[in-house]
Amino acid sequence: MAVRCARVSGMRAVGGRFICLWLAALVAACACGRSPQATGGAAQSSIAHPDEVRVHVTSVGFDQATGAHYVLLHDDGQARELPIMIGDNEAQAILLALHNIKPDRPLTHDLLRSVIEETGNRLDRILISDMRDEVFYAKLFLDKGRVTIDSRPSDAIALAMASKAPIYVNSKLFEDAPDAGLGMLPAGKVPQVAHALGMTVEQLTPELAGYFGAPESGGVLVSEVDAAAQKAGVARGDLVVKVGERQVKALDDFEQTIAAARNSGAVNVTIVRSGADRTVMLVNGPAPGAAKR
């Protein structure tokens, strides 16, 4: 953990110089992306290999014990997960992309996406490819595999989410997960989510509270909804502030309230969206396909 956090801090220290150098390399790659000489024998790299697993971002969390952020990746079946420690700025970028928040000014991954698209290229996919000395490595695959660029996982993930490109993980990294990720986070820290009423909700961090304009009383953030909850009027990015007559200030409040109301057929849930309150009625049952932990 100390090694990886040190690497993150060191990368952040180079700041603008690192970003400029990476952007310059990307511009050069995009400019020659359609040239046969730029293939480097990687014409098939836009197609995932059998040992690569498609994943999606479940959440971005903050580990109080280490003082570091992490991004949590799950495979499509919710059977395997991989947490990766990331820097503060990268956590902010992924949080914004995860919850479809558009900042007033473009962040670095927005700029890179624009550069790629405006030069007539596209991001095919990204791959979390390797881990060496407790540091993860990633690759970007552009323009139907004609261009491959090395990247930090956090930058690659933010860019993939902004570009609607798929994210893959080398399957061997899941096998190393107890040593490479989960074992480095205290029990109960991964992830801070709950499944109930057809929703997946997560702990509202200070960063998320600021972005979503959360009330001072707190609440929990809806990160996923099933078809029934969506039909009832719940959307990803809503804040749950009350279940029945009980105020929900944090994830523990939500879980305790749901447990107390488990014999109810349906409950009223108060949500906040764009600063306005509304009440919806949801069936008190497990979310279809919710992951068992």
- Give this prediction's pTM: 0.58
Task: Single out the residue of 156, 153, 170 nearest to residue 116, CA to CA.
Answer: 156
CB 154 within 8 A of CB 140: no
The predicted pLDDT at position 117 comes to 85
Which domains, ranges and CATH numbers included, belong to the chain?
2-184 (3.10.690.10), 193-283 (2.30.42.10)
DSSP class per residue in the chain: -HHHHHHHHHHHHHHHHHHHHHHHHHHHHHHTTTSGGG-TT-TTTTSPPTTEEEEEEEEEEEETTTTEEEEEEEETTSS-EEEEEE-HHHHHHHHHHHTT---SS--HHHHHHHHHHHTT--EEEEEEEEEETTEEEEEEEETTTTEEEEE-HHHHHHHHHHHT--EEEEHHHHHTHHHHTGGGS-TT-S--EEEETTEEEEE--HHHHHHHT--TT--EEEEEE-HHHHHHT--TT-EEEEETTEE--SHHHHHHHHHHTTT-SEEEEEEEETTEEEEEEEE-SPPTTPPP-
pLDDT per residue as tens digits for the range 211-269:
677 777 788 988 778 888 989 999 888 899 999 889 998 888 898 888 887 777 788 99
pLDDT tens for each residue of 149-166: 999 999 999 999 888 899
Mean pLDDT by 10 residues, the chain (293 residues): 37 43 50 41 59 89 74 84 85 80 76 86 93 90 89 92 92 70 42 79 74 77 86 89 90 87 82 88 60 36
Share of the chain above pLDDT 90, in %: 22
